[in-house]
Amino acid sequence: MKYQEFKDGIKNHLNSAAEDFFFVGYCLRKIQEDELYKQDGYKNIWDFANNEYDLSASTACRFMAINAKFSINDGQDMDQKYIGMGPSKLQEMLSLPDEELEKVTRETTVREIRAMKAAAKEPLSFFGLPKTVRPEDSLITTPGCGDKYDCFLCSQECSIRQEDRRCRFSTCGSPEPCGIIGNTEWKKRIQFSLYKDECQMLHTELAPERAGDGKPEPCCQNCEHTSCFNRCDVAKKKDEDAKKQAEAAERQRLKEIEDQRPEPTHKEIIVMYDWWSVSDTAELKVQNFKEMYRTSGGWNGKFDYKCSNRGIRINHKKELTWAQIIKEFKIIQEERRQAAVEKGKDDKQAYLKSREKEFAIAFYKTLYQSEKEIIKTRKAADVVKTFKKERGETYDGGNNGGYSERITWNCYPDKICFSISGLGAALQIPWGKYVTKLFRILDDNPDLEKPEPEADPEPEEKEPEIIDADFKEIVDEQDPEEKEPAKPEPAADEPDMEEDIDAEEATESQEAVKESERDPEAYTLRDVKDYLTTLIPELKIYKQEGMPDKTIRKRRIWIDALTLLKEKMEAEEAENDD
């Protein structure tokens, strides 16, 4: 039966019939034994009975005792010989000894049962013996009964007990009383226990015999029912200690297995380092890696790995903690820094440094006219503030527009980074230093601040040039005196380069015309490739400069998407060529 069925049973059988009280007692016992009352937030069975059914603790205890005393089949059915007896009579019969209980019949009245109870209250021990009485000058003062049994060894429920039974695991110097014998609360609980028929404390014949005198020595620690709610505190503590010892033994066993595993090789750790695309210049922190990768794992085609809150296991070898893996990663970083120095990375920085002036001018030419006007004031603080706000806060980037050697830059709140496409290195210049250098360059080269030749301060509408039917401009006739000098004839074994150049220029002119006619949103394979040549170096710079992970991921998505698009367009061109 389920908890709700027990509750419904109690509600439906709360009437005057003894059999109904008997079933109510059974349901209360089951709820008490399995602690089902906790599902409704009650601390004990008495609060449950009082709040749910308005039953006092004494009434609920009486119902449960009646069921436990006069039941068969673990409390589900009343013993046939007690059916028909009223609840008052059954209540009086609860405290009758078993030998007197056998004398009660359906015809026995309540008054007669009370008389039998009064006659059974003679001060005798469990063994039917009176208290041990010794002479006043006796050196033996141990309490007991009949000069035969001692109370501190006796485990029987006795009406004349004079001393607590001692816990069998306490020392002689510090004797502790048994937590069950004489415990009134335990006596109430055990009557409703499903294990009461197997309890050694109630049925001493089930207990092991004591060495020496062969007397029963019941103890909860000898009982196999470790889940019994009525076990003594000493037995519960022993169970908890045994559980902890088992857990410690299991941890030790797993540790020994772990210690026997080989450690991952340095080569395997390098593969892990590259798989996670760890930057050689990034600052590595244990907490960052733990939060990012603690739930990751799998097979990447080269090795197997599994991460957890504690660390990472590579190829089923010994697990490395996050602190250990970060330590190994830092070693790899240092190795690669040294390798980069050996390959001439310092030379790349020197090369970029030598072109610092060219970089400064290239960036200056792309500025808005409003920004150039601010620069003309030569107020360094205002210019730096403008660059930080207009360029740095948006992480602005750009290039010089060339295809043979593209100069790129990326702006940050505190600096600007210049690089050359494909070089794999960047030159970092703080905004203040850049402005100072730019002022010096402009002062030495005043032509840079002059308006562009084609810029007309007062533009006027001009008639478009006349174009012939072949879309070629009609040029003015050249003055005979200004004729170009005759060019040498190419050698017989050399190709006519002039014709090739003319042909190329004609082709580019036609492409320019087509370009002006096509959809402005249309793009070609060359556009995709050019954009990729810009994005890939920028991604390397982002990693070197420690840009936010979100920004790096977005740039990686762009590169991967454009790479797939490029492959698709190349495949389509190949099919068209076929």
Say if residue 392 is in the same domain as residue 294.
no
The structure tokens listed for 558 are 């762009």
pLDDT digits (tens, 9 = 90+) for 362-376: 899 888 888 888 999
433, 367: one domain: yes
pLDDT at 265 over 80: yes
3-class SS letters over 161-181 = CCCCCECCCCCCCCCCECCCC
Ramachandran assignment for 332, one of left (phi > 0), alpha (psi -120 to 50 degrees), beta (any other): alpha
Write down the pLDDT at residue 552: 82
Residues 104 and 22 in one domain: yes
Residue 381 has pLDDT above 50, yes or no: yes
For residue 378, being part of any structural domain is answered with yes
Q: Please give the structure tokens belonging to residue 564.
A: 């797939």
pLDDT per residue as tens digits for the range 525-535: 888 887 888 78
pLDDT category at 11 given cuts 50, 70, 90 is low
Question: Locate tokens 């992970």: which residue?
Answer: 549
CB 439 within 8 A of CB 448: no
In the three-class reduction of DSSP (H, G, I as helix; E, B as strand; rest coil), residue 320 is classed as strand
Same domain, 313 and 395: no
Q: Decide which of 320, 342, 364 is a domain's last residue.
A: 342
Count of helices and strands (H, E) across the chain: 20, 12
Residues 307 and 350 in one domain: no
User: Does 283 map to a domain?
Assistant: yes
Convert the pLDDT of each residue in 86-131 to its tens digit.
778 888 888 777 777 888 888 888 888 888 777 666 677 777 787 8
297 plus 358 within the same structural domain: no
The residue among 496 and 256 whose pLDDT is bigger is: 256
**Which among 80, 104, 119 is the end of a domain?**
119
Position 542 scores a pLDDT of 74
User: Is residue 411 domain-shared with residue 322, that is, in the same domain?
Assistant: no
Q: What is the 8-class DSSP label of residue 220?
A: G
Render pLDDT for 66-97 as a digit per residue (tens, 0 to 9).
888 888 887 778 888 888 777 788 888 887 77
Q: Are residues 362 and 327 in the same domain?
A: no
Regarding whether 91 and 65 lie in a shared domain, the answer is yes
pLDDT top residue among 149 and 488 = 149
Task: Compute the average pLDDT of residues 261-268.
Answer: 88
Q: 433 or 101, which is more confident?
A: 433
Comparing 55 with 18, the larger pLDDT belongs to 55
Return the pLDDT at 520: 61
H helix runs in 366-491, sequence order: 369-376, 380-387, 431-444
Closest CA to 201 of 232, 154, 160, 156: 156
Asked whether residue 179 is domain-assigned, the answer is no
> 379 with 440, same domain?
yes
The closest of 83, 44, 50, 53 to 66, measured between CA atoms, is 83
More confident residue, 80 or 43: 43
Establish if 353 belongs to a structural domain: yes
pTM of the predicted model, to two decimals? 0.31
| Rounded Cα gap, residues 195 and 229, in angstroms | 10
Terminal-to-terminal C-alpha distance of the chain: 79
User: Which of 449, 479, 500 represents a domain boundary (last residue)?
Assistant: 449
Q: What is the average per-residue pLDDT within 21-43?
A: 87
User: Mean pLDDT across the stretch 380-394?
Assistant: 88
Same domain, 329 and 371: no
- Choose between 287 and 575: higher pLDDT: 287
| Residues 375 and 420 placed together within one structural domain of the fold | yes
Q: The sheet that has 397-399: what strands, in order across it?
A: 397-399, 407-411, 415-420, 426-430
Reply yes or no on whether the pLDDT at 439 is more than 70: yes
- Over residues 164-184, the pLDDT tens digits come to 888 877 777 778 888 887 777
Q: How many domains does the chain have?
A: 3
Residue 199 forms part of a structural domain: no
Asked if the structure places residue 462 within a domain, the reply is no
Query: How would residue 435 be classed by pLDDT, with cut points 50, 70 and 90?
Result: very high
Task: Of 214-218, 407-411, 465-469, give the lowest mean pLDDT range.
Answer: 465-469
Who's near 374: CB < 8 A, 6+ residues apart?
382, 383, 386
Q: Looking at the domain assignment, is residue 29 inside a domain?
A: yes
Q: Would residue 220 count as lying in a domain?
A: no
The parent domain of residue 425 ranges over 345-449
Contact of 120 with 97, CB cutoff 8 Å: yes
Residue 46 contacts residue 25 (beta carbons within 8 Å):
no
